[in-house]
A and B are shown apart, each in its own frame.
Chain A
Amino acid sequence: MPLMLVGLNHRTAPVEVRERLSMDERKMDEILQSLLACGPLHGVAMLSTCNRVEAILSAPNEDVIEQIVDWMAQRAGAARVELEKHLYILRYGDVVKHLFRVCSGLDSMIVGEPQIGGQVRKAFQLAQDNGTLDALLTQLYEQTMRVAKRVRTDTGIGEHAVSVPYAAVELAKKIFGQLEGLQVLLLGAGEIGELTAEHLHGQNVKQVFVANRSYERAVELAARFEGLAVQFGSIEEHLATCDIVIASTGAPHFVVEPQQVRRALATRKNRNLFLIDLSVPRNINPDIAGIDGAYLYNVDDLQHVADANRELRQKKAQQAEEIITREVDSFRKRLVAQDAVPTILELQGRLEEIRATELEKCLRKMGPMTPEQRTAVELFSSQMINKILHYPILQLKDASDEPQERESLRKTIRKIFGLRS
């Protein structure tokens, strides 16, 4: 049963082409039905994200690919020849490998990003809800999700932040563990500081305080985080109560000094203080880094963390590729073996029939026998049949994943053993 994939992604097609083909999730039932109407298909699922549009197909033969390409060209409002430049068509084992890689985040713009896993799940679920998943695609869906989970768990590919704001959140978690219940002080209204505060706010911190030279701007910004605006002069007071301080002002001098941090830490007992200086020129005196219990990171430090994480992801991607290669091979073998089951059963039945007939004739000719002698002759015949069947069965189970080649092998075996064609 051919398994195919027709699609394009951020590497093969510019956004102008991708946006013309992108599909609305709410209209997926119509889209799937319209695809099914293209030609003889057993099953279909459609994956549409901002970076890729892919139709995953299970069909009796490959002829349907032409109709699918036409359908896509029509949908994109483009000439078929134009669209074909951006399309890739994958078959059999390549489809399995591609889906395993996509769902594990290895084919994403940012390697290891986690959203794609959910998008693939959603695509298959929509197809399942619309009744367009056949047994083969259902198996493929389940195995894809299992492999993606294994890749993420075994390699930890998506664990490390690759942007400055996320790197700050990751470091905050390394210091405090859970961020729930912590208090954040945002100094200034710089863009990157705002973004970092937004990410921290998304981690359910208890409160965000915003201090800015312009109190009105502080009020406006605090409203975004459901936080509180405070006077710029009350920084030290808040250093004692807040756990994370983000400085992102335009001031050409330090606004947080070591003595302020020392005084604040003295009242905090064992509680640590994480200071993030995202301003240039810097707003937090670097000498603070030497104070016990205070952890200071500036924008370069965070960029280094993000860069190191990106390199780490690349290394983990190599481990992930090895896992995927093994998983593809094992899934392919399982599919081929499943496909061979009817022929194997028929073959075993046919030879068992021959064995039973010939055994009966032989026993009649041999005359009276003891039960032990009879058992020995029966055992001999069974073992001989098993030996004869061993290699044909092995060949059927280990056949190529190309359906034509498998069919040709099946035909040959059927012919040799006189099975119904």
Chain B
Amino acid sequence: MNPNLTLYIALGFYGAGTLVALLSLFAREKRMQHTGLGLMVVGFLSHTVWIGTICTITGHPPITNLPETASFIAWLVFLAELVLFIVYRVHAASFFVYPLVLILLSVTAVVHEPFAHSPKLLSRLFTAHLLLTTTGVAALLIGLAFGLLAHLQDRALKSKTRGRLWDLIPSLNVCKDVSYRALAIGFSVYTLGLVTGVLWSYKTTAGIVALRTKEVGAIVAWVLFAVVLQSYISGTYRTRRTMVVGAAAFVAIIVAMLGIHHV
């Protein structure tokens, strides 16, 4: 059996789930949102099987190249979304999270590379670097999605007009709280990921850290996320500046990801 079959099944279900969820925005039917979520969950299960297959074939987590990393981040982002849905019953985040998951997994399917065992993953430090960075990025993306929801909710309450998302977005406090927690956790984990990466780099290249697209993107994203987090701590998160910095951080993360080659 083709080991990538479950990847394509996952992609199909993610595509259908995203489409149904986006259509529900116009139809305003709760049943459609549940159907969208159901399709995404089936895709997630298939995605999990695919990740398990790679782990079995290569003997290490699927984070050795861009497609695998994109897939792993998509998997973590959806897992976080699922947990948040169970806790808060939030459908609105799905309008940002589902397309993001779909795009990330599409990258995996399009830029597909053969499974290969990477000797570098024999290093625990390097494995820790990859796992911490990808987990941190997933949490930061969730933090940004909920930050955007908080911003939309704030605008709707201020302008006294309800948009299509009004009923789907949870209270302003919940959005803000989830966003802050996800950013705080994501930032800490991501920082640890960068530190372990620098340590590993020093160890293997005798002290020289190359500044390529991946490294520059990762550092810029770290600085920008620090600014976003600081705005939450200082209470100035509502400003347009925070949203612009958050968007720039998102772009920086994507640039850093695109810079990932084989490890």
Contact = CB atoms under 8 A, between A and B. Distances in A.
A177 B171 contact: yes
A173 B157 CA distance: 12
A319 B28 CA distance: 10
A272 B173 contact: yes
6 contacts: A171-B157, A175-B172, A176-B171, A270-B235, A272-B172, A304-B160
Contact of B171 (A173, A270, A304, A319): A173
B171 A174 contact: yes
Given A293-B238, A295-B157, A305-B160, 7 more contacts: A174-B157, A175-B172, A177-B170, A177-B171, A269-B235, A270-B176, A295-B158
B173 A176 contact: yes
Interface in A235-276: 269-270, 272
Interface stretch (A118-126, A152-160, A226-234, A361-369): A152-160
Contacts of A301: 160
Interface string B154-196: 0001101010000100111110100000000000000000000
Contacts of A292: 236, 238-239
A272 B232 CA distance: 13
Interface of B: 29-31, 153, 157-158, 160, 162, 167, 170-174, 176, 232, 235-239
A289 interface: yes
Contacts of B170: 177
Contacts of A293: 235, 238
A394 interface: no
A37 interface: no
B158 A289 contact: yes
Contacts of A177: 170-171, 173-174
A112 to B, nearest CB: 14
A297 interface: yes
A154 B173 contact: no
Contacts of B31: 154
Contacts of A171: 157
Q: Contact residue range for chain A? A: 20 to 34
Interface string A270-297: 1010000000000000000100110101
A397 to B, nearest CB: 28
A175 B235 contact: no
A174 B172 contact: yes
A156 B176 CA distance: 25
Interface of A: 153-156, 159, 171, 173-177, 269-270, 272, 289, 292-293, 295, 297, 301, 304-305, 308, 319
Contacts of B174: 177
B157 to A, nearest CB: 5
Contacts of B29: 154, 319
A156 B30 contact: yes
Nearest to A153: B30
B232 A270 contact: yes
A153 B89 CA distance: 13
Nearest to A172: B171
Contacts of B232: 270
B171 A156 contact: no
Contacts of B30: 153-156
A289 B158 CA distance: 7
A297 B238 contact: no
A31 to B, nearest CB: 39
Contacts of B176: 270
B187 to A, nearest CB: 17
Q: Which of B31, B153, B160, B171 has the most CB of A within 10 A?
A: B160
A324 to B, nearest CB: 15
Nearest to B232: A270
B157 A175 contact: yes
Contacts of A272: 172-173
A180 to B, nearest CB: 12
Name the 10 nearest CB pairs between A and B, nearest first. A177-B171, A270-B235, A177-B173, A292-B238, A175-B172, A177-B174, A295-B157, A269-B235, A176-B173, A301-B160
A305 B174 CA distance: 22
A384 B235 CA distance: 80
Interface centre among A156, A174, A297 (most CB of B within 10 A): A174
Contacts of A156: 30, 167
Contacts of B238: 292-293
Contacts of B237: 270
A175 B162 contact: no
Contacts of A153: 30
Contacts of B153: 174
Nearest to B160: A301
Contact of B173 (A159, A175, A308): A175
Nearest to B32: A154
Which of A156, A270, A297 has most chain B Cβ within 10 Å? A270
B34 to A, nearest CB: 9
Given A154-B31, A176-B173, A270-B235, A308 B162 contact: yes
Contacts of A173: 171
Contacts of A270: 176, 232, 235, 237
A270 B177 CA distance: 10
Nearest to B169: A174
- Point out which of A153, A159, A177, A293 has the most chain B C-beta atoms below 10 A from its C-beta: A177
A301 B159 CA distance: 10
A155 B160 CA distance: 23
A308 B156 CA distance: 14
Nearest to A290: B158
Contacts of A289: 158
A361 to B, nearest CB: 57
Nearest to A268: B235
Nearest to B30: A154
Contacts of B160: 297, 301, 304-305
A175 B167 contact: no
A175 B29 CA distance: 24
A176 B235 CA distance: 16
A293 B234 CA distance: 13
B191 to A, nearest CB: 23
Nearest to A305: B160
